[in-house]
Structure 1
């Protein structure tokens, strides 16, 4: 029998958040999945199919990505995204959570752990964003030019989904139409580019070293040795700065771990928890 999945929208912080929830009565643990920049719940489809057999799973489309709303009033800072995730888990009454964050989602997880240490027993960071500075002032100022979102759209169209996937993956042979269309779908409307323009202004830098050292939650770091987006040296530095962490490096693997190595990631998570 196919396992139930509850998909829906929840108004949190004045924005509609899309989520997928896979309940499992026999599991006391819930995994909360947070995707990366220009991505969505779609990126976790292979990992979800493995996790949901044994655990409860909540996967969230971080605004403005995926099916979550694109709102002009919403503040797209990491701090506000972290607070939005916390409020969503509270509204669903979830306890005993372990967070899994990929890329930018990893930075949101770190913000959550820094903000609310007691919320999670453990965390898994997949090629997590780390040590990224705030956008430079000229870019922030330029973003206020009318129709700047059309420049953002042009940049996205020029690089294209396939090129972005080739940069994120070591093994290009797994790129197919389903994958390309899955990543392209949320970018077919102009609202996303207006929201991304807001994100250029709102996004603060990644957590500084002093803040990282205050996080005591046990963290498992999993990295691809051929990650071009967030090279392994950042994972090694993050492993030093977090007081309670371990680092696993997967060979011949790029940035998109949930696409390339879902089974190896799942096995490492099971061992860790």
Structure 2
């Protein structure tokens, strides 16, 4: 199991919440990629090369959301704690005027970050993300309930040995329109299958994943001072376009664009089109 070489050099960094792994490639203005639940930096393997080639420095951390390889037993793994972990990452690497690109659960965490510690953020791309009452959305609302049952994570992760089950709604079936390549699915699923410590981290995040975090963030959207691009999958099965339209109304400087032939995992289903939208947005809102 390994992270895609297209993401660049692998590094580790010690943060107040624990050590995380990240990948770094390209030079220029920084772009930070934020993945969601039970995936890792590999989600961005089809997007990062095009962004880096266009003259940007691309940083893809693997956050402790269940597909990470370094346990963080002392970290605060509430959505607020993970948002603060990202803020600490930006501070440790002294990154400013950052473009943050987020997908799925990573978008909920980014909304918390944006309304809590926005100082180093220059612009944000939310690509089919949890928001408002949709954190976590159906059918994934079952996961926090399961996480409250001791020992429940292991049977779930063991079941994912059966690749045919990957197309179920509770796995990748409703988030990726096309089958996730086996080696990438292994990158996402093996850490929690192989490590009790990783499963414990996953449980801690899941038991705290509640819509009050996204609803609280939404209360502060009027204070957001950076441009936001909402890139949504027109066929999204878990985040209706109505949520994107609501975000576009509530965020002061937001633009909505739709992408066809994709589910929630836009970086998996349509990496080239997502790359184009990100580059158009960063060029339009480049710092003089």
TM-score of Structure 1 vs Structure 2, range by shorter chain: 0.7 to 0.9
What's 1:150 paired with?
Answer: 154
Unaligned runs of 5+ in 2: 137-141, 283-288
Q: Secondary structure at the match of 1:113?
A: helix
Q: Does 1:168 align with 2:169?
A: no
SS of 2:58's partner is: strand
Select between 37-46 and 213-222 the one with higher mean Cα deviation.
213-222
Residue of structure 2 aligned with 1:230, choices 226, 233, 239: 239
1:220 maps to 2:229: yes
Correspondences of 1:1-273 after superposition (within 5 Å): 5-24=8-27, 27=28, 29-53=29-53, 54-132=55-133, 143=147, 145-150=149-154, 152-153=156-157, 160-163=165-168, 164-170=171-177, 172=178, 175-189=180-194, 190-205=196-211, 206-208=213-215, 209-273=218-282
Using the TM superposition, give the Cα deviation of residue 142 of structure 1 relative to its aligned residue in structure 2, in angstroms. 7.5
Gap change, CA 1:258 and 1:207, over 3 Å in 2: same
Aligned partners of 2:157, 2:115: CA distance in 1, in Å? Answer: 34
Partner Cα distance (1:176, 1:125) in 2: 24
TM-score by length of 1: 0.85
Gapped regions of structure 1 (runs ≥ 5): none
Q: TM-score, normalised by structure 2?
A: 0.81
**Aligned match of 2:286:** none
Work out the CA distance in 2 between the residues paired with 1:42 and 1:85: 18
Secondary structure of 2:123's aligned partner: strand
In the alignment of these two chains, the number of paired residues is 265
- Asked whether the 8 Å contact 1:133–1:204 carries over to 2, the reply is no
